[in-house]
């Protein structure tokens, strides 16, 4: 059983319903059989506590809770779940790693395990087991999961950040298909603006939507904030090209994007004020749930980010890896739980419940019907394969994390687009800040 906190009590109704569906006798049998056969046997009287990021889609969390309960029933391991906003998991995990106390498992954002690799339980056996069984890990997942030859975390899933657009308005602007190249996309943005059906990307301090499109734009033009030795390379002609491109987009966006946070584009899209933006699948999910917004769901679709002059996809998606701390008294239970989460019988219904909000990192899950039952969800199937990692060419550790969370690159773009700085000044300021973050 999970400990009943305020949230589980509040969501009692729906959680109970979901649990009933999952914990039928057959499922319990399967869970028990799995626990018998699994290579990891939880320690006697093991108890785990897990800190996870706070969900965006309620149904996803319900399934997660049900999954934890199934594990408890099958193995007798009690699990306590706590939740934090996804930006706040990192500070808590860092403190736990440093003090050697706190939750056993942390499920957080981007390169979390790389902030303290020596404090993470070696997960190589779990990764190998899952990789062999489910068609192998995608490249970006390997980068996020491994430090040297060792897996220090297991990449559970991505949340994709892709283009959301209105179909009719795009057709009216002369685009029957969403543009696949950046120069074409600029034409699209201009045409949409001209038709009075503009869109927009967040340029405020939006951790998710802001950073994902900014890094896409930088990488699409060959810019990199660091090279493979973590030397700062932001001040480059490629970055300048990316800045100029972003400004051309910005001038044709809806006014006010410099103030947008992560939820602004969702509101504006659902309010029919904008007709294209970048986002997870949440706009579509919300539009489908609300009868008065049904027409938006019907008239919208998703697409990959356009490919830039570098000639290959340069998307950045939100990675959610899980790690077990070396201070845990029950490493075997941790491993068993992580493997259990990603087994097909658990993971398939879980990502189905998330309705496209969670994308898998194990190729076998491409076959999950969620991705094809509704073709509008299909692009989110591929985000793991298309994603680059938060560190760019450089390391994936705390320096990359600090650069993202301090909005260095985002502010460089915003400073130039809003006309506060010219390209030279904007790049120099960013370079200066990055050099400080990346000093050894």
Partner 1 sequence: MTDVAIENAKPAPRAVTAWEQLKVNRNWLALWFMLPAAAFLILFLAYPLGLGVWLSFTDARIGRSGVFIGLENYDWLSDDPVFWLSVFNTLLYTIVASAVKFAVGLYLALLLNENMPFKAIIRAIVLIPFIVPTVLSAIAFWWIYDAQFSIVSWSLRHLGLIDGNINFLGDFWNARWSTIFANIWRGIPFVAITLLAGLQTVSPSLYEAATIDGASRWQIFRHVTFPLLTPIIAVVMTFSVLFTFTDFQLIWVLTRGGPVNATHLMATLSYQRAIIGGHLGEGAAISTAMIPFLLAAILLSWFGLQRRKWQQGESND
- CB 276 to partner 1: min, Å: 14
CB of 437 to partner 1, least distance (A): 8
Dig out the tokens for 344 from the structure. Answer: 């097909």
Q: What is the 3-state secondary structure (H, E, C) of 340-369?
A: HHHCHHHHHHHHHHCCCCCEECEHHHHHCC
- Quote the tokens at residue 215: 């890094």
Q: Segment 87-126, which members bind partner 1 (CB under 8 A)?
A: 87, 90-91, 93-99, 116
Which positions ≥6 away from 272 have C-beta within 8 Å? 296
The order of strands in the sheet holding 162-166 is 276-279, 162-166, 300-303
Give the binding-site size for partner 1 (rule: CB under 8 A). Answer: 43
Q: Which stretch binds partner 1 (CB under 8 A): 39-47, 121-129, 261-269, 281-289?
A: 261-269
Q: Which of residues 171-230 bind partner 1 (CB under 8 A)?
A: 203-205
Question: Rounded to 5 degrees, what angle do the CA atoms 136, 89, 434 make?
Answer: 85
The 3-state DSSP class for residue 157 equals strand
Q: Which stretch binds partner 1 (CB under 8 A): 40-48, 62-70, 230-238, 249-257?
A: 249-257
Applying CB under 8 A, which of residues 285, 401, 409, 427 lies at the interface with partner 1?
A: 401
- Specify burial of residue 399 (Cβ count, 10 A radius: 0-12, 13-18, 19+): buried
What are residue 318's DSSP bridge partners?
159
Structure tokens at 146: 């491994």
* 182, 309 contact by CB (below 8 A): yes
Nearer to partner 1 (CB atom), residue 138 or residue 401: 401
d(CA 44, CA 36): 14
Residue list 339-398, contact with partner 1 (CB under 8 A) = 398
CB nearer partner 1, residue 252 or residue 314: 252
Mask for 406-425, x = binds partner 1 (CB under 8 A) = xx---x--xx--x-x-----
Among residues 109, 254, 318, 434, the one that binds partner 1 under rule CB under 8 A: 254
Please pick, from the candidates 180, 256, 311, 375, the single residue that binds partner 1 as defined by CB under 8 A.
256
Binding mask 269-298 for partner 1 (x = CB under 8 A): --x-xx------------------------
Residue closer to partner 1, measured from CB, 58 or 418: 418
177 Cα distance to chain centroid = 26
Which residues of this protein are in contact with partner 1, per CB under 8 A?
87, 90-91, 93-99, 116, 203-205, 254-261, 264, 267-268, 271, 273-274, 398, 401-402, 405-407, 411, 414-415, 418, 420, 429, 432-433, 436
């Amino acid at each position: 059983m999970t400990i009943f906190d305020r949230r589980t009590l509040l969501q009692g109704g729906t959680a109970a319903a979901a649990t009933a569906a999952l914990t039928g006798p057959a499922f319990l049998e399967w869970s028990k059989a799995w626990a018998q056969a699994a290579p990891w046997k939880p320690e006697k009287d093991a108890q785990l506590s897990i800190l996870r990021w706070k969900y965006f889609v309620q149904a996803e969390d319900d399934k997660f809770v049900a999954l934890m309960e199934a594990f408890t029933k099958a193995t007798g391991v009690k699990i306590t779940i706590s939740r934090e906003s996804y930006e706040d998991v990192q500070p808590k995990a860092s403190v736990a790693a440093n003090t050697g106390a706190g939750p056993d498992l942390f499920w957080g954002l981007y390169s979390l395990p790389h902030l303290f690799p020596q404090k993470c339980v070696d997960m190589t056996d779990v990764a190998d087991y899952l990789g062999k069984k489910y068609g192998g890990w995608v490249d970006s997942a390997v980068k996020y999961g491994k430090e040297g030859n060792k897996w220090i975390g297991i990449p559970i899933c991505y949340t994709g950040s892709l283009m959301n657009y209105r179909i009719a308005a795009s057709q009216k602007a002369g685009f029957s298909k969403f543009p696949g190249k950046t120069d074409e996309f600029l034409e699209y943005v201009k045409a949409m603006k001209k038709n009075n059906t503009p869109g927009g990307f967040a340029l405020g301090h939006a951790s998710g939507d802001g950073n994902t499109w900014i890094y896409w734009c930088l990488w699409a033009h060959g810019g990199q904030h660091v090279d493979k030795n973590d030397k700062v390379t932001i001040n480059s002609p490629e970055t300048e090209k990316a800045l100029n491109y972003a400004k051309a987009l910005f001038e044709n966006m809806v006014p006010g994007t410099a103030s947008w946070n992560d939820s602004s584009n969702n509101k504006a899209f659902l309010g029919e004020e904008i007709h294209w933006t970048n986002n997870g699948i949440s706009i579509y999910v919300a539009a489908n749930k609300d009868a008065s917004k049904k027409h938006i769901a019907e008239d919208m679709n998703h697409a990959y980010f356009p490919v830039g002059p570098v000639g290959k996809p340069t998307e950045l998606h939100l990675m959610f890896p899980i790690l077990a701390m070396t201070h845990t008294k029950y490493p075997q239970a941790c491993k068993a739980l992580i493997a259990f989460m990603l087994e097909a019988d658990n993971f398939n219904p879980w990502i189905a419940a998330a309705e496209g909000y969670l994308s898998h990192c194990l190729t076998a899950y491409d076959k999950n019907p969620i991705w094809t039952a509704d073709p509008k969800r299909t692009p989110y199937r591929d985000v793991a394969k298309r994603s680059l990692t938060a560190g760019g060419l450089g390391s994936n550790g705390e320096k990359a994390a600090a650069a993202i969370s301090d909005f260095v690159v985002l502010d460089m773009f915003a400073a130039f687009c809003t006309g506060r700085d010219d390209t030279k000044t904007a790049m120099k300021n960013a370079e200066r800040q990055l050099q400080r973050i990346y000093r050894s």
